[in-house]
Chains A and B, each alone.
Chain A
Amino acid sequence: MEENIMKVNLRVWRQAGPKAQGAFVTYNNVETTPDTSFLETLDILNETLIEKGEEPIVFDHDCREGICGMCSLYINGHPHGPATGATTCQLYMRRFANGETITVEPWRSAAFPVIKDLMVDRNAFDKIQQAGGYVSFNCGGAQDANNLPISKVKADEAMDSASCIGCGACVAACKNGSAMLFVSAKISQLALLPQGEVEKDRRVRAMVAKMDELGFGNCTNTGACAAECPKNIKLANIGRMNRMFIAAKCKE
């Protein structure tokens, strides 16, 4: 099997707990290959730490195919690292140079406190969704699916907004720690479809209020969120949400 060995230095944020003082620790000459993923390289490093009797680096990860939204990591100053339109788990070492020093930090945001090392608490995202990210109806009462024709263009647009994986890269990338790309993606998905029309005012008011309450910042149209989003969620969603929010507020 072809094994082009490469070595990298990993400068990793270590923090024992939510209230502990954290610091960077550099691990030199971690051996990996260009076809190995970034998270697998962290696995390799962790195995060597365990061999030495040390605790492994804690980081969130699960599906490792870019869809669950569990992995995070600020790598060399970018959420999910240097690749565009991809999550950290889809990042392969061929993106880095042999001998490079790679800095790895947790999401930077007051709304996402560190739990341990690189793992953060993103519960605030669930709370925003609970405030109104749904169509209010009970299972069992739905009409036949084809009784509700929806234009392909609208359905595709809704699908694009619905692709958000809730990873939090948008918040981490934003200088204001704003969650507006995340919130507007859900609001847009439901606003573009007739199913979401009925309670659109109520939804946008509730979700925006919850977002503000949880300490997320406001949008100043920098666009870092959309540039760093691993699922290419468009900035236009925020514009749509703002228009809907103003309209809903006016009706109050």
Chain B
Amino acid sequence: MANLDNVKIMNPADSKIPEGPIAEKWTNYKAHQKLVNPANKRKLDVIVVGTGLAGASAASTLAELGFNVLNFCIQDSPRRAHSIAAQGGINAAKNYQNDGDSVYRLFYDTVKGGDYRAREANVYRLAEVANNIIDQCVAQGVPFAREYGGLLANRSFGGAQVSRTFYAKGQTGQQLLLGAYSSLNRQIQLGKVKSYNRYEMHELVLIKDKDGVERARGIIAKNLVTGKFERFAAHAVVIATGGYGNTYFLSTNAMGCNCSAAMACYRKGAYFANPAFVQIHPTCIPVHGDKQSKLTLMSESLRNDGRIWVPKNIEDAVKLQKGQIKGSDIPEEDRDYYLERRYPAFGNLVPRDVASRAAKERCDAGFGVNNTGLAVFLDFSEAINRLGIDVVRQRYGNLFDMYEEITDVNPGEFANEKNGVKYYNPMMIFPAIHYTMGGIWVDYELQTSVKGLFAIGECNFSDHGANRLGASALMQGLADGYFVLPYTIQNYLSDQITVPHFQTNTPEFDAAEAKCIADEEKLMNIKGTRSVDSIHKELGHIMWEYVGMARDKEGLELAISKLKDLRKTFEKDLFVPGTMDGMNIELDKAFRLNDFITMGELIAYDALSRNESCGGHFRTEYQTEEGEAKRDDQNCFYVSCWEYEGSDDKAPELIKEPLHYEAIKVQTRNYKS
């Protein structure tokens, strides 16, 4: 067990938060940071791992500044990174709608939405640069939705009382990523970015400088087509490799999303922060069977016009579960719009963690509406009756079609009329793992606890606290890549201008590559009976059952012991077919699964050590009489940072970074009034 009694406290200076009032910190930082002059920039190499919104925007912007960039992705093209699947939109405080928005309000909503567990200064900077992102993307030719007058359109999203979300149909992530990809392509064409597709980072290489300080100086990456390991050196390494949601096996993440690059950094001394903060998204298509490979998200934007409900009467729920009646058979007066009932001020637009828990509460009470009892309705009848089907289809048509393709039910289809009210087929939804707020610990400069190693986008922990608001992930990924890292990394690189280009024929690279080969040989030589997926599914069950939407001490302790047993199963009974020569997709999956198991333990340790409920982390021991999350600001007002203890078998050590709020008064989150 982690020793939780004598935890280390981080030195407040380590987070490198600039002096001054919150609104001036970033301006002050930029005014006083060290820069690298243009002639020196071309002497410096930067590795960027990942090509999602954070990775692609960072790689292209660093190259525009003049640095030499090496950019890696595991897919066949940088354009396929999972940012592409983000549907809803991107937030910014433009106040184009004249509805009272401001940088401060975006900052405030994000801190509040994160249940007061984010670092205040980072979030303010995020809100500050958000407006620049919209300008940048429009200049790239991103086709955001517009009004007839030619100006940009906005919509509202959960956790906010203003309309500040910019969108491109239901494909905002795709359009923003293709924008970043276009800038990246320009730099590849200009020779400033070298692009390595179908390469996976396996190891981080540290080299001591003349003062004996270990610095990140390169990576070992596997060419997934040839199966060979290759060495890459640089003056700094940036990881932008996304989140760890696939630890749960079933999630809305893409099949290839994994946490191995982050785990490689963790094992080399980068702290992992707040791993227990995992977002469970309320509007996903429910699980249909045990052969399912992933879960599909239905955009949160549906909650703008869709109303979430379950039957008022348990008898109706039982009939729905048995398939004897349909949702449209239940009249208005027998429907329980439980979000509107419990949270009158925000209604269906409460933040994701609140909506997910409320759905679980109703289903646990027996009111689930499908054959497994694990689904609630999302209904458009009221919106269609108010706006007409054409307007509703214009807004959500592609999502309706997607839903129909998967479930064979069309949500916009007229189903029934009772007492003069027309009812349409509702969607069925249920919460699923979607995003991970936790990640590699970074300071204000986005540098990890390893010198020269930076982490950006979902893969760091910095801006979302214990819960992320909708349309904020795209904002953070692009803020880090376009407007934060290109400044802050120079403060580090300015000291490195006399360091020549690195060679890869050093003992450090030899040792790192030898380790990668030995690790793969170990996996190949187990020669057991279990496939990678069968063990991964078992991992997912343990995680969802004990480290999912509701957690308690007993369950978490059980989870940790089950995960230890699972690791033994993995090490003794795994079977990987084929050889190490050439492409071996099972071997690549086995490599990732090893890290998912370590990650699973890390999530469980963190969940166990955080004795409170906040945001996506809900401990059943800590709740109010009404079932709302109960934070403990007295004892838990900190970022948990986990330090690797040299072996996956050892429990990691907890270091606490205390939070300090100057601008915002910490209070109980209230979405009721």
A-side residues, CB < 8 A to B, are: 1-3, 17, 32-33, 35-37, 39-40, 43-44, 47, 49-51, 53-56, 58, 60-70, 83, 85-86, 90, 92, 94, 115-116, 119, 121-123, 125-126, 129-146, 148-152, 155-156, 158-159, 162-163, 165-166, 189-190, 193, 195-196
Give every chain A residue within 8 A of B212 (Cβ-Cβ).
none
Q: Tell me which residues from 26 to 84 in chain B have a Cβ below 8 Å from any Cβ of chain A.
A: 57, 60-61, 64, 75-80, 82, 84
* Structural contact, B486 and A193, CB atoms closer than 8 A: no
A35 contacts B255, C-beta separation under 8 Å: no
Known: A68-B80, A142-B138. 19 other contacts (CB 8 A): A35-B408, A43-B293, A53-B575, A54-B577, A61-B255, A63-B254, A70-B75, A92-B406, A123-B76, A130-B188, A133-B185, A134-B183, A139-B61, A145-B134, A145-B135, A145-B144, A149-B149, A159-B143, A163-B171
Given contacts A47-B533, A123-B76, A125-B77, contact A90 B406 (CB under 8 A): yes
Stretch of B441-449, B579-587, B665-673 lying at the A interface: B579-587
Residue of A nearest to B294 (CB): A64
Closest 9 pairs between A and B when the two form their complex, measured CB to CB: A149-B150, A134-B182, A142-B139, A142-B135, A159-B143, A145-B138, A158-B143, A62-B254, A63-B254
Most chain-A CB neighbours within 10 Å: which of B75, B147, B585? Answer: B585
Residues of B141-179 contacting chain A, CB below 8 A: 141, 143-152, 168-169, 171, 173-175, 178
How far is it, in angstroms, between the C-alpha of A171 and the C-alpha of B76 when the chains are bound?
17
Q: Can you name the residue of chain A whose Cβ is closest to the Cβ of B482? A: A139
Whether the Cβ atoms of A56 and B291 lie closer than 8 Å is: no
| B669 → chain A closest CB, angstroms | 31
Q: Which of A2, A63, A152 has a CB less than 8 Å from the CB of B85? A: A63
**Considering only CB atoms, which chain A residue lies closest to B153 in the complex?**
A152
Kindly supply a per-residue 1/0 record for chain B positions 80-98, scoring 1 wherever the CB is within 8 Å of any chain A CB and 0 otherwise: 1010110000000010100
B419 part of interface (Cβ distance < 8 Å):
no
Whether A58 pairs with B585 at a CB distance below 8 angstroms is: yes
Query: Which B residue sits closest to A43, measured CB to CB?
Result: B293
Instruction: Judge whether B550 is part of the interface by a CB distance below 8 angstroms.
Output: no
- Known contacts A40-B292, A126-B77, A152-B150: does B171 contact A67 (CB below 8 Å)? yes
CB-defined contacts of A195 to chain B, threshold 8 Å: 138-141
Asked whether, in the complex, the Cβ of A70 is within 8 Å of the Cβ of B80, the reply is: yes
| Partner-A contacts on B (CB < 8 A) | 57, 60-61, 64, 75-80, 82, 84-85, 94, 96, 132, 134-141, 143-152, 168-169, 171, 173-175, 178, 181-183, 185-186, 188-189, 195, 197, 225, 254-256, 288-289, 291-294, 296-297, 371-372, 401-402, 405-408, 482-483, 486, 531, 533-534, 575, 577-578, 582-586
Across the interface, which residues of A come within 8 angstroms of B132, CB to CB? 140, 142
Residues of chain A with a CB closer than 8 A to B292's CB = 36, 40
CA–CA, A70 and B51, complex, Å: 14
* B76–A64 CB distance below 8 A: no
> Which A residues touch B406, using CB under 8 A?
90, 92
- A193 near B141 with CB under 8 A, answer yes
How far, in angstroms, from A159 to B482 measured CA to CA in the complex? Answer: 23
Can you list 30 A-B contacts (CB < 8 A)?
A17-B582, A35-B288, A35-B408, A37-B293, A40-B293, A63-B82, A63-B254, A64-B294, A68-B84, A116-B583, A119-B583, A122-B76, A130-B185, A130-B186, A131-B189, A139-B483, A139-B486, A141-B139, A143-B135, A143-B139, A145-B152, A146-B96, A152-B146, A156-B143, A156-B146, A158-B143, A162-B175, A166-B79, A193-B141, A195-B138
Tell me the bound Cα distance from A94 to B408 in angstroms: 9
Q: How far is the CA of A126 from the CA of B75 in the complex (A)?
A: 12
Residue of B nearest to A34 (CB): B408
The chain B residue with its CB closest to the CB of A210 is: B189
Residues of B within 8 A of A51 (CB): 531
Q: Which residue of B is nearest A137, CB measured? A: B139
Assembly CA distance A226 to B345 (angstroms): 47
Distance of A98 Cα from B139 Cα, bound (Å): 51
* Contact A56/B150 with A134-B140, A195-B141, A196-B141 known, Cβ cut-off 8 Å: no
Closest to B186 in A: A134
Known: A39-B293, A94-B408, A116-B583. A63 touches B84 (CB 8 A): yes
Q: Which residue of A lies closest to B582 (CB)?
A: A17
Question: Could you tell me the distance in whole angstroms from the C-beta of A197 to the nearest C-beta in chain B?
Answer: 10
The answer for the CA separation of A112 and B208 in the assembled complex, in Å, is: 44
Residues of B within 8 A of A141 (CB): 139
Considering the chains assembled together, what is the distance between the CA atoms of A58 and B406 in angstroms? 24
CB-defined contacts of B372 to chain A, threshold 8 Å: 1
How many angstroms between the C-alpha atoms of A133 and B140 in the bound complex?
10
* Nearest chain A CB to B320 CB, angstrom units: 14
Whether A56 pairs with B577 at a CB distance below 8 angstroms is: yes
Q: How far is the CA of A155 from the CA of B174 in the complex (A)?
A: 16
- The residue of chain B having its C-beta at the shortest distance from the C-beta of A72 within the complex is B76
In angstroms, Cα B143 to Cα A33, docked, is 39
Q: Are A123 and B189 in contact (CB under 8 A)?
A: no
Task: Give min CB distance, B219 to chain A, whole Å.
Answer: 22
Task: Name B253's closest neighbour in chain A (CB-CB).
Answer: A63
Most B CB within 10 A of own CB, among A53, A67, A159: A67
Alpha-carbon distance between A3 and B292 when the two chains are bound, in angstroms: 12
Q: Tell me how far the C-beta of A9 lies from the nearest C-beta in chain B, rounded to whole angstroms.
A: 18
Given A63-B84, A142-B139, A149 and B60 touching (CB < 8 A)? no
Instruction: List the A side residues contacting B585 at CB < 8 Å.
Output: 56, 58
B577 close to A2 (CB less than 8 A): no
Give bound CA distance, A136 to B60, whole Å. 12
Complex Cα distance, B137 from A148, in Å, reads: 12
B240 to chain A: closest CB distance in Å? 16
- Kindly name the residue among B144, B189, B297, B578 whose own CB sees the greatest number of chain A CB atoms within 10 A: B189
Which residues of A lie under 8 Å from residue B143 when comparing CB positions? 155-156, 158-159, 162, 189, 193
Q: Flag if A92 contacts B150 (CB, 8 Å).
A: no
Asked whether B583 lies within 8 Å of A43 as measured between CB atoms, the reply is no
| In the complex, chain A residues whose CB is within 8 Å of the CB of B148 | 151-152
Contact, CB under 8 Å: B139 / A135: yes
A156 to nearest B CB, angstroms? 8
Q: Are A155 and B182 within 8 A (Cβ)?
A: no
Give A206 Cβ to nearest chain B Cβ, in Å. 9
A50-B531, A65-B296 known; A32-B291 Cβ under 8 A: yes
Closest B residue by C-beta to A136: B186
Nearest chain A CB to B378's CB is how many angstroms away?
17
Residue of A nearest to B408 (CB): A94
How many angstroms between the C-alpha atoms of A66 and B84 in the bound complex? 10
Chain B residue contacts of A3, Cβ below 8 A: 289
Shortest Cβ distance from residue B228 to the other chain A in the assembled complex, whole angstroms: 14
A132→B190 CA distance, assembly (Å): 11
Q: Which residues of chain B come closer than 8 Å to A126, judged between CB atoms?
A: 77-79, 185, 195, 197
With A and B bound together, what is the CA distance between A158 and B138 in angstroms? 12
A residues less than 8 Å from B85 (CB atoms): 63, 65, 67-68
Chain B positions within 8 Å of A92 at CB level:
405-406, 408
Q: Which residues of B sit under 8 angstroms from A130, Cβ to Cβ?
A: 185-186, 188-189
Residue contact A155 to B146, C-beta cutoff 8 Å: yes
Query: Is there an interface contact between A50 and B138, defined as CB atoms closer than 8 Å?
Result: no
Provide the residues of chain A in CB contact with B80, threshold 8 Å.
Answer: 62-63, 68-70
Chain A residues, Cβ within 8 Å of B256: 62
Q: B139 to chain A: which residues have CB within 8 Å?
A: 135, 137, 141-143, 195
Bound together, the chains give a CA A56 to CA B586 distance in angstroms of: 8
Determine which of B197, B534, B578 lies in contact with A47 in the assembled complex, contact meaning CB atoms within 8 Å. B534
Residues of B within 8 A of A32 (CB): 291
- In Å, the complex CA distance between A163 and B84 comes to 11
Chain A residue with the shortest CB-CB distance to B579:
A55
